[in-house]
Amino acid sequence: MTLGWQQVPIATMRCDRAWVEINLAALAHNIRQLKHLLSLRTQLMAVVKADAYGHGAVTVAETVLQAGATWLGVATVPEGIELREAGITAPILILGATHTLEQIKAIAHWQLQPTLCNFKQALVFAEALTAMQSEVLPVHIKLDTGMSRLGPPWQQAVEFVQLIARLPNLKIASIYSHLATAESPDQTILRQQQQNFEQAIAQIKHSKLPLFQDEQTQPALHLANSAATLTASDLHYDMVRVGLAMYGLYPACHLSPIDLKPVMQVKARIAQVKTIPTGTGVSYGHKFISDRPIQLAVVGIGYADGVPRNLSNQMTVLVRGQRVPQIGAITMDQLMLDVSAIADVQEGEVVTLLGEDGTEKISADDWATQLNTISWEILCSFKHRLPRIAIP
């Protein structure tokens, strides 16, 4: 008798087609390695926005907090709520802009900490919190020191801080900025941004605001992303905000002072194996035509899962620890391989698209180089129909 669909546990199908493996031991290792770079006074914020760069926000957050991170960074209010609903109590900074009453209510209710980046937004927060009779809310001031993104120009730092310090129900928890070129070997712009940041802080302190009179209660300062964390200790201040590095990738090849281990592997199964004769077109548009008989394997993963279609006829994957070429256009749900060099390939065998197999490995950096993009984009591209499988 055939089982009805209701009787088949979804868990038994999680790795039938394609999946993403998340190595939690590697993640914890990376946090410990990063902590070795920091002084005792410097805290580590783990950036888990965009579902922890595609790794799974809740699982990643729990792991990094156990490994020594003390703060979490997200981009949106719903991302923060997801962590709170999972029982995570660590402080969470919302790095993106928030403006609406609904967002402010949610921030206060879920004890999230917003970034304030313009004068109008600060007034809206104060008015809303007063109307809500809310408790004092910790807020974080973002200054634009050269990124030309969120925050008032650093020259307006004193005016901005003075406004927020006067407003009811707001407590300035930190002042920070973001670096535009920290991964570049040329540090000219990085150091100019650092100078702008420090000049802004000096001017704020010179203004004699009460919040800077007591070292125990004055706002924390933070500037460093992953690249700056790896670059120099004078960029660390009171906290660093680490994203890419904790997932095991270096922001640039010259920034590798510690041993990082990639956390993500992407795998799929071979769905069919067959032989095609010489002169056979493969996939849409016949962008590949066989010049010999080929043992072809169809693999159950495609661009709808996050494999870039522009890698068609360019990428290799690992089968039994050997590199084999992908051939033909990558389709929505499947791609094809030339496995002629491997004897007796079977349906159901595992293919490694990103990760290690034996002595061979393929990284997000490899794909990024081929596509003239960045590894951040590669990690964030894998869709949620690929289950995340945590490997202890």
User: 230-265: per-residue pLDDT in tens?
Assistant: 999 999 999 999 999 999 999 999 999 999 999 999
Sequence-distant (6+) residues with CB within 8 A of 270 are 297, 298, 299, 300, 319, 337, 345, 346, 347, 348, 349, 350, 351
* Predicted pLDDT at 378: 98
CATH match for 264-362 among 3.40.366.10, 2.40.37.10, 1.10.10.10, 2.130.10.10? 2.40.37.10
For the annotated catalytic residues, the residue numbers are 49, 284
Annotated ligand binding at 264? The verdict is: no
Looking at residue 217, its pLDDT comes to 76
CA torsion angle for 185, 191, 192, 198 (degrees, to 10)?
A: 160
Domain boundaries, the chain: 24-247, 264-362
For residue 145, give the nearest of 108, 188, 177 by alpha carbon: 177
In words, the CATH class of domain 24-247 is: alpha beta
For the chain, percent of residues with pLDDT exceeding 70:
96
Residue 289 in tokens: 């035509």
Which residue stretches of the chain have pLDDT < 70? 1-14
pLDDT of the residue at 15: 74
The predicted-structure confidence for 335-359, as pLDDT tens digits, reads as follows 999 999 999 999 999 999 999 999 9
Cβ partners under 8 Å of residue 151, min gap 6: 117, 118, 141, 142, 143, 144, 177
Q: Any binding-site annotation on 1? A: no
